[in-house]
Amino acid sequence: MPEPIYMDSHATTPLDPRVLEAMMPYLTTHFGNAASSTHLFGERAKDAVDAARGQVADLIGCLAEEIIFTSGATESDNLAVKGVAYQYRDRGNHVITSAVEHHAVLDSCQALEKSGFDVTYLPVDKYGMVYPQQVKDAITDQTVLISLIYANGEVGTINPVTEVGEITEQYGILFHSDATQGIGKVESDVSKLKVDLMSLTAHKMYGPKGIGALYVRKKDPPIQLYPLLHGGGQENNVRSGTLNVPGIVGFGAACELCKQEMEEEAQRILALRAQLYYGLDKRIELVHLNGHPTQRLPGNLNLSFEFVESQSILSGLKGIALSSGSACNSDSVEPSYVLRAMGVKDELALGALRFGLGRYNTEAEVATVVEYVASQVARLRELSPLYEMAQGGNYEAAIPQNGEKS
């Protein structure tokens, strides 16, 4: 293979050169501390942070003062879940979330359980989706927070967040959504989604790593958060620490580009995904689509190949960056907890590959990926006694069936 191909955009995205250009002065000459308001260096930094806060707010349709900068979505999720639960502890001790959240939410909820909270982990359907009625049924008079992922980073499924937001509004319960994978890819306006808090991160949308944000509603009535970091009182006393000015500037630039280009980019990426899916489906038999057929992120394709393990496919394709699960779990040979929660059998979950198409992928790259993945699957199946058994007509004995046949 001549050039390595990156198709793992859910793990991270490359920095857009236009974002780097915006950041450069703040990595070099404009190095001031945004809190040092008595001199020009500090003023310049503060102006840049203010402008970037506006750009981030603009992408998600909120006020600039409703954005709290963090180190990324892990911190935003922790701040939302623990910050709300600790702040509003006198209102109740029950939190609702789903079984397919990112570990930043799941583990924050587990930490809450250790300090006396009750947490309901809602199951998902075979597509990885939670239904509004499930949320309604789980609410008790002790419920203080519902945290539901917007778009799943493994299978791309988009949850009915707006409908859940209507319920939380009706019951007066705070609603957080981890929208890390959706923002910049699909519409993520906070009023339309009806969320009170929302997590985002720059490195999934062609911005730099180590910078993210939490949207926190500031009206009707304003939400208070118990801070996780105490110190200099930055970010309205909610998140102390010297602001990462170059990161924030890059985040702002990345948001502005997404706002301008998102719709057109989604169409282009959808066409690439169709080329990839139909190309693979034509070349390989016994392929299963994981995740929702229509309600999914444009750049996400998650497929299980029967009779082969995704780790074996990937080990023969070092030049193509794909994932066998979420990045945090990719060293593990355990089936993904998301696929398990969706009821995908272990045999199929272990054969799952996640393709993450992004801004810089081309038709030529997709054609190469189809070619290499198809050849690798064919080669591995030739070595599989179970596949041979199935070919000989004893399919039922070779593998238990489930999942969506393509």
Binding residues for ligand PLP (CB under 6 A): 72-74, 77, 102, 104, 149, 153, 178, 180-181, 201, 212, 327
Q: Is 183 helix (H, G, I), strand (E, B) or coil?
A: strand
From 333, 331, 332, 352, select the one nearest 342 (Cα to Cα): 352
Q: Which is nearer to ligand PLP, 144 or 149 (CB)?
A: 149
Q: Is 277 helix (H, G, I), strand (E, B) or coil?
A: helix
CB of 162 to ligand PLP, least distance (A): 18
CB of 72 to ligand PLP, least distance (A): 3
- Report the alpha-carbon distance of residue 304 to residue 286 in Å, rounded: 8
CB of 293 to ligand PLP, least distance (A): 21
Q: Which is nearer to ligand PLP, 201 or 310 (CB)?
A: 201
Q: Which is nearer to ligand PLP, 212 or 351 (CB)?
A: 212
235 Cβ neighbours under 8 A, 6+ residues apart: 68, 69, 243
Largest CA distance in the chain: 80
Q: Which is nearer to ligand PLP, 74 or 312 (CB)?
A: 74
- Report the alpha-carbon distance of residue 291 to residue 128 in Å, rounded: 6
Does residue 328 have an active-site annotation? yes
222 preceded by cis ω (within 30°)? Answer: no
The CB-nearest residue to ligand PLP is 72
Asked if 359 and 266 count as a contact pair (C-beta separation under 8 A), the reply is: no
Q: Which of 62, 255, 258, 328 is catalytic?
A: 328
CB of 338 to ligand PLP, least distance (A): 11
CB of 73 to ligand PLP, least distance (A): 3
Asked if 238 and 68 count as a contact pair (C-beta separation under 8 A), the reply is: yes
From 212, 206, 218, select the one nearest 356 (Cα to Cα): 206
Helix (H) or strand (E) holding 174: strand 174-178
Q: Which is nearer to ligand PLP, 274 or 328 (CB)?
A: 328
Asked if 366 and 276 count as a contact pair (C-beta separation under 8 A), the reply is: yes
By annotation, the residues acting in catalysis are 328
